[in-house]
Homo-oligomer: A and B are copies of this chain.
């Protein structure tokens, strides 16, 4: 538990960040994220700068600096009818977009088409836009962990963390999930998330998403842990965004919201000696 040492915690400490991805994606996502921050027990989130509802969420972040808020660096748009693309002019980052000027749908297409220089320019522009608006991001992470699509992108991602002095989400399971070799792409000085949890489709499909989250809380290992969720409401906007995409779809997101705003589930933190920690705490404590 190298990360516990780096942060000055004893080796048995169970640290946990409960993180909402995808803020800014839609009004539904924004409302659910804000509600879960205020009245639920998520304690960190990150914003997608290229998305249609970015401005609403950025205003919230600026006016509510008590909540941990990072930049959810975005290079892909997985939805069928709801499209977004780079914040830079397409002519400056042509390798990032499909024939209609929108981000590719998945990491494979991104890997095949995107040049590192375009990835570098666009991700930096996303951070700069947030800074210019007056945000004080607490961390950076990556939508669909697309920065792991190839080693060059991952290097850019880590360099951005250094450049802006922000902690970066680095985790072996996520790297393996997206096909990036941890051995070759982790440096000794990197602060690692020991365990990152993202639900898989099989849990949603079989109605076991809540059970999956309960089991995480009940069996958490010591170390620096992270649960990635996507709270939103199963309303008509979100059904439209996620149409024909039950994986991380509106029903799934409603379950995420329900679980992490439920007081019985919150009680599991105490019952299992789990300490919530934010990215801001991590920056403060890092040796």
Contact = CB atoms under 8 A, between A and B. Distances in A.
Interface string A89-132: 10110000000101000000000000000000000000000000
Contacts of A53: 81-82, 240
B82 A55 contact: yes
Contact of A59 (B30, B59, B81, B89): B81
A84 interface: yes
Total copies of the chain? 2
Q: At the interface, is chain A mostly helix, strand, loop or mixed? A: loop
B56 A81 contact: yes
A26 to B, nearest CB: 8
B28 A237 contact: yes
Interface in A223-247: 233, 235-237, 240-241
Interface residues of A, number: 27
Nearest to A235: B236
Contacts of A155: none
A100 B128 CA distance: 12
A266 interface: no
Nearest to A60: B81
A55 B83 contact: yes
Contacts of A280: none
A102 B237 CA distance: 23
A101 B101 CA distance: 19
Nearest to A236: B235
A280 B175 CA distance: 54
A143 interface: no
B102 A55 contact: yes
A203 interface: no
Contacts of A91: 89
Given A235-B235, A237-B27, A237-B236, A82 B102 contact: no
A164 interface: no
Interface in A11-50: 26-28, 30-31
9 contacts: A27-B82, A27-B236, A28-B236, A53-B240, A55-B81, A55-B102, A100-B133, A233-B236, A235-B236
8 nearest CB pairs, A to B: A89-B89, A52-B52, A237-B237, A27-B240, A56-B81, A55-B83, A27-B237, A235-B236
Given A28-B237, A235-B237, 15 more contacts: A26-B237, A27-B82, A27-B236, A27-B237, A31-B240, A55-B81, A55-B82, A55-B100, A56-B82, A56-B240, A59-B81, A89-B89, A89-B92, A233-B236, A235-B235
